[in-house]
């Protein structure tokens, strides 16, 4: 007879779930406390069980009542310190509460569930701690009969004894559902909870039988009877329980029949979870008045042993219950949400203001008052943003909702696995959108399990590794840059990239060759590939087919990013970045033709616009793929219009009309073919083609510049070529209909300001569609190899003019700033030109003072390039345009060399003179360098007795840098490549006190050379300084691994010399 009132039942379920939500942590804290019992905490849990029991009786939920009741018994004993909460007992309690949670979630089917296992365990625990004489009381029920009201309760004797022991009176309180509850505007749950304030409810029941059938007259009353134990005096009772005096009966010993009815049929058999029907049958029948010996409970066993015995069946049950514990949060996505009342008030106010502003707007519009309309539209704009924010806040939930659960997960798992693990949780208050909270539950659980299972080692291994026995897992959440970061850090085993890569090769996920080209981080990243699991034996915990790939896919779906840092033997950090909310995301709007698309900002790294004139230099073709050079790295390109099969169009500058673009790929127009097969014939063709191009060719117009959105999907980057880049906008994500579900590449759609729909791009799927995911590593690596052969040193240069016809360049690394000054501000002091600048004086020079070049034209204002030489700033007056380019440094160091000019280079079809700033400063301000030289004299070693080994393949640099060192007085042995350098090193080992090497060289590169030096016994003491034109982070890392002591930029003479001195002359 489950109570049919849906409203009441739902309230009960909601309330009970709320009671249960904190129990897990409370119990775990109680467990930690051990014998030192925190009464408040135990009371909390006890009250929760008790309220659930109270309500269940009223609702006719017999099974729930039974389970809650037994839980209450155990907790009651913990509270009275009759029992110490050992981990075993807590385990039983936790599992029983889990079950209770399940029952309540599926409340309608709860009466048919079998919970005997849990009840038995609980009873065993209870009896175990009872004095011998009382043991029977738990399993026996007594009948309480009140003749006057015709009430019979069948309750465990244990309850009565416990109540009496605590000096409580036992009452039967009879409420009339209609008169005492409904008419007073109360609900039955109110009554129950008010009773719970002053005592405990042993049993409760609605006496439906006395209501009669429909044929009878309207029932005079619906009695709701409660067996209530309280310390309240009998004369006070009626007032306190708020029931008519005549309906409160004190139960005296007379009423308690001495009849003992056993619950158990036979020893060890299941408990009869007296179903409702049976109850009523029993009630109708005469109470059995036969004394039966309770032979059921294994009283003779000490409790410890009982628990030991129970361990086995519990383990079995463990495996089948495990998934439920974990998925609980995921599947039970709540349909109702608690919202702070203040927030609701704010929303109300905002809604009110919105209405007011709308009225103003309507008035403004109808009165044709532009000013009023504008004002109100501004107001509406403001209110809308506020409203959006407030509504978002209602969806925000603290992450503790899922974090707290992990205490239990870690506890249970580590126990199963025999590990000692402590979980630290930080940032519980961080709030996330409800949907995200629900969606990250599974991935997070998987990661935590992974850390427990594969991360933390077993205690003996930890001992052997001299780590603390107890492993540590830190779960951390924090806000950063508008995103929520979650970190799962363990101090365990770490992930060995090589093993991962090895397994991947074995499973055919990557090739041996790819493996050899992968960085450590890439290798670790392989665990996200589908079909990967390193667990050597599949344990219950991980390796159920749900791999890291699922974690990644789930996070991808949320617009999240996952990243792993791991050091073998030290630990692993999983880093997850999540958007605060899914509903509104900042996005970059791009367009192809007339259609707009949105790229979520989380996926966007940067925007790149390659001017028409540079397309040729920067975009290249490898095989079928286009790549762009971006700060020394090659970035694969995907053409969005190709990918989505959109007809490419362009607006022809002459007629202004839309034309179909006939070019197949970006590189079709002007980029060099890196294809080695492209023989002479092609080149000849290309030349011819070039000649045909008129200067006004459409392809060179600014409109045909290439716009690239550099996006990252996970730890992989690529460039998406689009027609146009628009603004960044906050967009509202809307789902696409079912007829579009088969379209990959979209994460949804949004509505733009003009009311049209724009599709949201899913960059990860796009990469897959463009076959980038699988081959990316290959393409990039191959490209790297190829370009190494072709490209010599690339370097960033600053281009400028002196006279309008001559182009000059200087290494960008030497440039501090570029300023524009007024000619009238230049002062001539002591024969030198200076300008007041940032509170000091900046000496100004122009190239014609030193080199034989045309003089600077007279103008009102000048561009000044500020260099820093010998720790002093010096300005060089130049003419615009000033521009930065990245070029191959194919410097001709002879033809055009002169004072102040290193040589020449061809940039963009112009012969460009490379300016040697040191030379210029040396010629103009020779005294600047004296100071430095005198400084070096003070050190013990002087450059004169030091020999440097210098390896560099480019003749220009070899001479240039050799010159730097020789100017300082060093002796220099120069070699063309690493292998020649090694030979020299072996030959002149005694003299050489430092090695300076280029990184990219034929035969043996700088990495290899330094590795050799650092691993040899003879030479490992030698400092190795690497010279590079572009120091990428990856190179740095690689370099550090091979033992390189320092990285220096090739043409930064100042810095290079000082670093070499520091290393060599110490």
Partner 1 sequence: MSQVKSKHAGADMLELATFYVGEALCGIDILNIQEINKQIDVTVVPQSSDYVKGVLNLRGKIVSVIDLGEKIGLSPITAHKDNRNIIVNSHDEHIGLLVDRISDVMVADPSRIENPPANIGGIQGRYFEGVFKTDTSLIGILDIEEVLKE
Q: Which residues bind partner 1 (CB under 8 A)?
A: 595, 644-646, 734-746, 749, 751, 755-759
Closest CB to partner 1 among residues 573, 649: 649
Question: Around Cβ 1033, how many Cβ atoms within 10 Å?
Answer: 8
Tell me the closest approach of the beta carbon of residue 596 to partner 1, in angstroms.
Answer: 8
Cross-strand partners of 673: 621
Look-up of token digits 């927030």: 343
Tell me how far CA of residue 512 lies from CA of 508, 509, 568, 623, 1008, in angstroms.
Answer: 9, 10, 22, 21, 21
Closest CB to partner 1 among residues 20, 720: 720
Q: What is the DSSP string of 856-888?
A: PPP-SEEEEEEEEETTEEEEEEEEEEEEEEEEE
Tell me the closest approach of the beta carbon of residue 722 to partner 1, in angstroms.
Answer: 13
Tell me the closest approach of the beta carbon of residue 394 to partner 1, in angstroms.
Answer: 19
Question: How many helices (H) and strands (E) are present in the chain, helices listed first?
Answer: 34, 42
How far apart (Å, rounded) are the C-alpha atoms in residues 63 and 279? Answer: 12
Closest CB to partner 1 among residues 655, 754: 754
8 Å CB contact between 449 and 413: yes
Tell me the closest approach of the beta carbon of residue 744 to partner 1, in angstroms.
Answer: 7
Closest CB to partner 1 among residues 266, 660: 660
Tell me the closest approach of the beta carbon of residue 749 to partner 1, in angstroms.
Answer: 5
Tell me the closest approach of the beta carbon of residue 364 to partner 1, in angstroms.
Answer: 23
The HSE-up count of residue 1045 (CA atoms within 13 Å, CB side) is 18
Strands (E), 136-267: 140-146, 151-156, 169-176, 199-206, 223-230, 248-251, 261-262
Closest CB to partner 1 among residues 224, 597: 597
User: What is the H or E stretch that residue 439 is in?
Assistant: helix 434-450
Closest CB to partner 1 among residues 551, 761: 761
Tell me the closest approach of the beta carbon of residue 597 to partner 1, in angstroms.
Answer: 10
Helix residue ranges, H only, 233-334: 234-241, 276-284, 303-331
Tell me the closest approach of the beta carbon of residue 670 to partner 1, in angstroms.
Answer: 27
Tell me the closest approach of the beta carbon of residue 755 to partner 1, in angstroms.
Answer: 6
Coil, helix or strand at residue 973: strand
- Burial string for 80-95 (b: 16+ CB within 10 Å, else e) reads eeebebbebbbbbbbb
Closest CB to partner 1 among residues 197, 594: 594
Tell me the closest approach of the beta carbon of residue 380 to partner 1, in angstroms.
Answer: 16
How far apart (Å, rounded) are the C-alpha atoms in residues 232 and 251? Answer: 13
Strands 223-230 and 199-206, sheet pairing? antiparallel
Tell me how far CA of residue 918 lies from CA of 165, 436, 640, in angstroms.
Answer: 98, 58, 47
Tokens of 467: 């780590």
Closest CB to partner 1 among residues 746, 956: 746
Tell me the closest approach of the beta carbon of residue 742 to partner 1, in angstroms.
Answer: 7
| Torsions phi, psi for 156 (to 5 deg) | -60, 140
8 Å CB contact between 303 and 128: yes
Tell me the closest approach of the beta carbon of residue 750 to partner 1, in angstroms.
Answer: 8
Closest CB to partner 1 among residues 494, 748: 748
Closest CB to partner 1 among residues 474, 736: 736
Strands 584-592 and 595-600, sheet pairing? antiparallel
Tell me the closest approach of the beta carbon of residue 709 to partner 1, in angstroms.
Answer: 17
Closest CB to partner 1 among residues 295, 658: 658
All residues at 6 or more sequence positions from 497 whose CB lies less than 8 Å from its CB, including other chains:
518, 520, 521, 522, 523, 524, 526, 566
Closest CB to partner 1 among residues 348, 740: 740
- Whether residue 684 is preceded by a cis peptide bond, meaning omega within 30 degrees of 0, is no
Closest CB to partner 1 among residues 736, 923: 736
- Burial string for 969-1002 (b: 16+ CB within 10 Å, else e) reads ebbbbbbbbbbbbbebbeeeeeebbbbbbbbbbe
Closest CB to partner 1 among residues 1, 646: 646
Strands 861-869 and 872-888, sheet pairing? antiparallel
Tell me the closest approach of the beta carbon of residue 645 to partner 1, in angstroms.
Answer: 6
Nearest to 615 by CA among 743, 534, 708: 708
Nearest to 627 by CA among 613, 610, 612, 641: 610
| Torsions phi, psi for 659 (to 5 deg) | -125, 155
Tell me the closest approach of the beta carbon of residue 747 to partner 1, in angstroms.
Answer: 13
8 Å CB contact between 592 and 723: yes
Tell me the closest approach of the beta carbon of residue 396 to partner 1, in angstroms.
Answer: 23
Closest CB to partner 1 among residues 696, 755: 755
Tell me the closest approach of the beta carbon of residue 592 to partner 1, in angstroms.
Answer: 8
Closest CB to partner 1 among residues 738, 940: 738
How far apart (Å, rounded) are the C-alpha atoms in residues 900 and 891? Answer: 15
Nearest to 500 by CA among 419, 568, 574, 570: 568
The CB-based long-range contact list for 903-909 (8 Å cut-off, 24+ gap) reads 903/956, 905/797, 905/809, 907/797, 907/799, 907/807, 907/809, 908/613
8 Å CB contact between 80 and 58: no
| Torsions phi, psi for 594 (to 5 deg) | -100, 0
Closest CB to partner 1 among residues 743, 785: 743
How far apart (Å, rounded) are the C-alpha atoms in residues 585 and 483? Answer: 11
Tell me the closest approach of the beta carbon of residue 756 to partner 1, in angstroms.
Answer: 6
Closest CB to partner 1 among residues 550, 646: 646
Q: What share of the chain is helix, strand, coil (3-state, %, to 5)?
A: 45, 25, 30
């Amino acid at each position: 007879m489950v109570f049919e009132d849906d409203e009441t039942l739902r309230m009960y379920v909601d309330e009970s779930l709320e009671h249960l939500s904190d129990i897990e942590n409370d119990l775990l804290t109680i467990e930690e406390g051990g014998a030192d019992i925190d009464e408040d905490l135990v009371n909390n849990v006890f009250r929760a069980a008790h309220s659930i029991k109270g309500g269940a009786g009223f609702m006719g939920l017999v099974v729930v009542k039974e389970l809650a009741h037994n839980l209450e018994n155990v907790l009651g004993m913990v509270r009275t310190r009759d029992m110490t909460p050992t981990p075993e007992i807590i385990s039983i309690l936790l599992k029983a509460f889990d079950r209770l949670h399940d029952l309540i979630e599926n409340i309608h089917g709860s009466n048919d569930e079998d919970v005997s296992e849990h009840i038995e365990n609980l009873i065993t625990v209870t009896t175990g701690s009872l004095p011998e004489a009382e043991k029977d009381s738990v399993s026996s029920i007594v009948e309480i009969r009140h003749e006057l009201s015709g009430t019979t309760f069948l309750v465990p004797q244990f309850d009565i004894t416990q109540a009496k022991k605590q000096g409580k009176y036992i009452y039967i309180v009879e409420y009339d559902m209609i008169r005492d509850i409904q008419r007073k505007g109360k609900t039955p749950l109110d009554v129950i909870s008010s009773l719970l304030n002053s005592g405990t409810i042993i049993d409760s029941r609605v006496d439906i039988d006395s209501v009669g059938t429909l044929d009878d007259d309207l029932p005079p009353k619906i009695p709701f009877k409660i067996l209530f134990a309280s310390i309240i005096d009998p004369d006070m009772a009626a007032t306190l329980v708020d029931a008519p005096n005549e309906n409160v009966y004190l139960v005296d010993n007379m009423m308690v029949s001495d009849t003992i009815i056993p619950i158990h049929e036979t020893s060890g058999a299941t408990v009869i979870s007296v179903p409702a029907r049976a109850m009523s049958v029993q009630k109708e029948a005469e109470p059995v008045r036969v004394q039966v010996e309770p032979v059921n409970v294994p009283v003779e066993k000490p409790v410890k042993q009982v628990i030991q015995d129970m361990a086995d069946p519990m383990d079995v049950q463990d495996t089948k219950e495990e998934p439920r514990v974990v998925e609980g949060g995921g599947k039970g996505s709540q349909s109702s949400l608690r919202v702070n009342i203040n927030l609701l008030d704010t929303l109300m106010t905002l809604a009110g203001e919105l209405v007011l502003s709308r009225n103003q707007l309507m008035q403004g519009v109808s009165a044709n008052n532009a000013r009023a309309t504008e004002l109100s539209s501004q107001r509406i704009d403001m209110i809308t943003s506020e409203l959006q924010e407030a509504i978002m806040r209602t969806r925000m939930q603290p992450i503790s909702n899922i974090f707290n659960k992990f205490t239990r997960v870690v506890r249970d798992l580590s126990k199963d696995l025999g590990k000692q693990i402590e979980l630290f949780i930080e940032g519980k208050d961080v709030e996330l959108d409800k949907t995200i909270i629900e969606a990250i539950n599974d991935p997070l659980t998987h990661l935590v399990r992974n850390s427990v299972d594969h991360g933390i080692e077993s205690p003996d291994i930890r001992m052997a590794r001299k780590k603390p026995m107890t492993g540590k897992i830190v779960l951390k959440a924090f806000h950063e840059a508008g995103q929520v970061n979650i970190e799962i850090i363990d101090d365990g085993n770490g992930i060995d990239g090589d093993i991962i890569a090895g397994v991947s090769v074995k499973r055919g996920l990557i090739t041996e060759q790819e493996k050899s080209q992968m960085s450590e981080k890439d290798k670790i990243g392989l665990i996200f590939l589908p079909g990967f699991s390193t667990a050597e034996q599949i344990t219950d915990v991980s390796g159920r087919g749900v791999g890291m790939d699922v974690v990644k896919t789930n996070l991808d779906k949320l617009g999240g990013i996952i990243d792993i840092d791991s050091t073998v033997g030290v630990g692993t950090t999983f880093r997850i970045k999540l958007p605060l909310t899914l509903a509104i995301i900042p996005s970059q709007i791009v367009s192809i033709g007339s259609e707009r698309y949105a790229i979520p900002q989380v996926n966007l790294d940067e925007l790149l616009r390659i001017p028409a004139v540079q397309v040729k230099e920067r975009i290249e073709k490898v095989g079928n793929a286009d790549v762009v050079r971006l700060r020394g790295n090659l970035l694969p390109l995907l053409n969005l219009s190709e990918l989505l099969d959109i007809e490419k169009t362009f607006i022809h500058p002459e007629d202004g009309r839309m034309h179909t673009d006939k070019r197949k790929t970006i590189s079709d127009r002007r980029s060099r073919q890196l294809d080695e097969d492209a023989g002479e014939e092609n080149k000849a063709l290309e030349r011819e083609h070039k000649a045909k191009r008129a200067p006004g060719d459409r392809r060179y117009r600014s409109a045909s510049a290439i716009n690239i959105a550099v996006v990252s999907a996970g730890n992989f980057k690529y460039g998406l070529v689009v027609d146009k880049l628009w603004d960044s906008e906050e967009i509202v994500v809307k789902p696409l209909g079912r007829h579009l579900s088969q379209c990959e590449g979209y994460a949804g759609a949004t509505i733009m300001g003009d009311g049209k729909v724009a599709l949201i791009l899913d960059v990860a799927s796009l990469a897959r569609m463009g076959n980038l995911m699988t081959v990316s590593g290959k393409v990039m690596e191959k490209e790297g190899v190829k370009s190494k052969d072709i490209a010599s040193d690339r370097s960033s240069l600053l281009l400028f003019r002196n006279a309008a016809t001559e182009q000059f360049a200087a290494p960008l690394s030497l440039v501090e700033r570029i300023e524009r000054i007024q000619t009238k501000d230049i002062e001539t002091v002591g024969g030198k030109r200076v300008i007041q600048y940032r509170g000091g004086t900046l000496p100004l020079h122009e190239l014609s003072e030193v080199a034989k070049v045309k003089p600077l034209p007279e103008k009102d204002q000048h561009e000044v390039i500020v260099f820093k030489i010998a720790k002093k700033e010096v300005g060089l007056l130049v003419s615009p345009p000033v521009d930065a380019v990245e070029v191959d440094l194919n410097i001709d160091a002879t033809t055009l060399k002169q004072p102040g000019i290193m040589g020449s280079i061809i940039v963009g079809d112009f012969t460009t003179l490379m300016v040697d700033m040191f030379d210029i400063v040396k010629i103009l301000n020779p005294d600047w360098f004296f100071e430095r030289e005198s400084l070096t004299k003070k050190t013990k070693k002087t450059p004169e007795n030091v020999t440097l080994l210098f390896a560099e393949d480019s003749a220009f640099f070899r001479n240039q840098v050799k010159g730097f060192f020789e100017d300082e007085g060093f002796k220099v042995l120069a070699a063309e490549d690493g292998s020649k350098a090694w030979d020299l090193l072996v030959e002149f080992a005694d003299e050489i006190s430092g090695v300076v090497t280029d990184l990219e060289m034929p035969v043996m590169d700088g990495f290899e050379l330094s590795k050799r030096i650092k691993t040899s016994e003879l030479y490992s003491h030698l400092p190795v300084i690497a010279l590079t034109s572009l120091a990428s982070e990856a190179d740095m890392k690689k370099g550090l691994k091979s033992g390189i002591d320092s990285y220096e930029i090739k043409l930064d003479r100042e810095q290079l010399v000082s670093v070499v001195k520091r290393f060599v002359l110490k």
